[in-house]
Amino acid sequence: MNADTVRPRDPQECVRLADGAAEVGLAVMLGDLIRANLKQSPGKWVDFARLDSLISVEAVDAQVSATLAFHRGTLTVYGGIRGTPAISVSALASGLLGLAAVRVVFGLPFLFGKEGKGLRTGLITGQVKIRGALRRPAQLVRFTRLISVNGQAPGRRQAES
């Protein structure tokens, strides 16, 4: 499956908020971010189509969480933690924003640039915790590329700025 074989669809139809999720700001923000990234970067559809797991995201300082239920080309965003997530990301709200800002180089999150510095520091100090990364590394990479506003299509080199 590559960018040429995955046909982009309308992100509004593929990304939906579950009942009650509209009252959870983090759930709304994540849904909107993924919709916008899919619309702006058609290459992200490859990762979106390959994700098939539950991923929880928690902003510990705001005491808010959301669960992203990916199912090969569809996403339902829930307010709060649902089920048993394969990957769990917990951080201060600023750390979550840092995850979305990470640059993607050669298809992988790049933690050594200026955009990745905050995330790298958070991972080292424990302010950003990612559970399940060792069991599901490909899912984590796909998720990071999908939410990154500095991302690229898999297998394509991002132009240097």
Tell me the per-residue pLDDT of 114-123, one tens digit each, with 9 for 90 and over: 766 777 777 7
In a domain, 28, yes or no: yes
Q: Is residue 159's pLDDT more than 50?
A: no
Q: Which domain holds residue 38?
A: 11-147
Confidence grade of residue 128 (pLDDT, cut at 50, 70, 90)? confident
Residue 32's pLDDT is what? 96
Q: Is residue 154's pLDDT more than 50?
A: no
CATH code at position 97: 3.30.1050.10
Query: How many domains, in total, are found in the chain?
Result: 1
In a domain, 157, yes or no: no
Tell me the per-residue pLDDT of 38-92, one tens digit each, with 9 for 90 and over: 999 888 999 999 999 999 999 999 999 999 999 999 999 999 999 999 999 999 8
In a domain, 129, yes or no: yes
Q: Is the pTM of this model over 0.85?
A: no
In a domain, 153, yes or no: no
In a domain, 4, yes or no: no
Residue 119's pLDDT is what? 73
In a domain, 161, yes or no: no
Tell me the per-residue pLDDT of 98-113, one tens digit each, with 9 for 90 and over: 777 777 766 566 777 7
Looking at the DSSP assignment, which residues form a beta bridge with residue 89?
A: 57, 130
